[in-house]
Amino acid sequence: MAEMDYPDRHLVNAAIGWLELHVIAEARAELAQVSPASAFHPDTLAAWWRVHAAEQQWDEALRVAELEVLSAPDAMSGWVDRSYSLHELQRTEEAREALLPALKKFPEVSLIPYNLACYACRLGQPAEARQWLLKAIARGDKAEIKALALEDPDLTALWEEIVKW
């Protein structure tokens, strides 16, 4: 995808800054000023997804994430955003199915098997969740993933086991 020109690049960066400060209304205002030429740029879409996620507007977040995947299928963020949106909409089985193809596209990334572990655990499949979590650890930093997992309510069923790892 082509690089985004200024001032659109500046507006998206400003929106991200506002999101990091948890000032969603300002992020939304910045993104509303992006030109039509940059409205479907993957960076703009990713910022919009973060706005909708912060507002817990999961239907809108899902719509934007679908556009992310279409506009940049080789970017991991759209795949993760789409499955996370589905999960938040209580469509966890769909979330898992939507994320599975990303395993091959992004073989080094730990976030994908980590999210699959969360989904499997929520679906009442702790053995599968354990396997995904071990794959996430193999792809990433064990201490970081373990700490994250021990705070993740999706993985509650595995907490006693994870503590021992």
Taken in order of first residue, the domains within the chain and their CATH numbers are 1-106 (1.25.40.10), 108-165 (no CATH)
Q: For residue 110, what is the DSSP state?
A: S
107 pLDDT tier (thresholds 50, 70, 90):
very high
Average pLDDT of the chain is: 97
The model's pTM is: 0.93
Helix (H, G, I), strand (E, B) or coil at 90: coil
Query: pLDDT band at residue 88, thresholds of 50, 70 and 90?
Result: very high
Q: C-alpha distances in angstroms, 23 versus 77, 108, 160?
A: 22, 33, 37
Alpha carbon distance 115, 120 (integer Å): 9
Helix 126-139 and helix 111-122: axis angle, to 10°?
170
* pLDDT tens sequence across 109-121: 999 999 999 999 9
**What does the pLDDT average to over 43-64?**
98
* Residue 121 buriedness (CB in 10 A; 0-12 / 13-18 / 19+): buried
